[in-house]
Chain A
């Protein structure tokens, strides 16, 4: 099992460009999450999906959109990248919202210039 996979691993964007971060899990988990992690900050939740077909905002959703494509895949889109979105993005999954062990992907390091 690969667990949680993310692509790309690294990305450099110019201000105003758009891109989609991809995430997939092969653990048959119902719930998926997108976090960002900045130096000196804890992990902050951007969006989450409790189950296939549902998505909800987390703590810092502005500037992002998500799609739960199917049970396996949960993508994060930056429509118009800003330097403030320079960060490491982690996708995670869990059996359900009531299951607290979240499994994280390896992360995407995004730089916006």
Chain B
């Protein structure tokens, strides 16, 4: 089983829609979780960290479910500019360097 698994998509949604991505991780001892965003042919950038209590940043909400070992990202009121690949990232053992990146979920928001 891969350490971090994501549905590659693509998710095609109309502008204004709500879309959710899930990501599962295999190491139950994982301590830190993140969502990164990667635009086509660009570098990844941190979108948000995922806390045990969940967190929200504007139209973006991230949730963590430790019992089921998955994290989610919800995007409300999708904008054209949200079109990108969203990478689920897990730090498996709280050792700073060892970030495990998922392969990403592709989102395309259409007019």
Residues of A at the B interface (CB closer than 8 Å) are: 31, 33, 40-45, 48, 50, 56, 58, 90, 94, 96-102, 104-107
Segment at the interface with A among B58-66, B69-77, B89-97: B89-97
B82-111 interface bits toward A, Cβ cutoff 8 Å, 1 = contact, 0 = none: 000001000100011111111110000000
A-B pairs with lowest CB-CB distance, top 10: A97-B96, A104-B43, A42-B101, A43-B101, A98-B96, A42-B103, A48-B97, A101-B46, A97-B97, A104-B44
Q: Is the CB of A105 within 8 A of B43?
A: yes
Q: Which chain B residue lies CB-closest to A50?
A: B97
Q: Is the CB of B97 within 8 A of A106?
A: no
**Interface of A (DSSP majority class):** loop
Q: Is the CB of A42 within 8 A of B96?
A: no
Residues of B at the A interface (CB closer than 8 Å) are: 4, 32, 34, 41-46, 49, 87, 91, 95-104
- A and B contact pairs by CB, cutoff 8 A, 13 listed: A31-B97, A40-B103, A42-B100, A43-B101, A44-B101, A45-B97, A45-B98, A48-B97, A96-B96, A97-B95, A100-B34, A100-B91, A107-B42
What is the CB-to-nearest-CB distance from B90 to chain A, in angstroms, rounded to a whole number? 10
Q: Is the CB of B87 within 8 A of A42?
A: yes
Instruction: Please name all residues of chain A whose beta carbon is closer than 8 Å to the beta carbon of B102 when the two chains form the complex.
Output: 42
Q: Is the CB of B44 within 8 A of A43?
A: yes
Cα A101 to Cα B49 in complex, Å, equals 9
Q: Is the CB of A102 within 8 A of B99?
A: yes
Q: Which chain A residue lies CB-closest to B31?
A: A100
Cα A107 to Cα B40 in complex, Å, equals 12
Q: Is the CB of B42 within 8 A of A106?
A: yes
What is the CB-to-nearest-CB distance from A50 to chain B, in angstroms, rounded to a whole number? 7
Q: Which chain A residue lies CB-closest to B43?
A: A104
What is the CB-to-nearest-CB distance from B98 to chain A, in angstroms, rounded to a whole number? 8
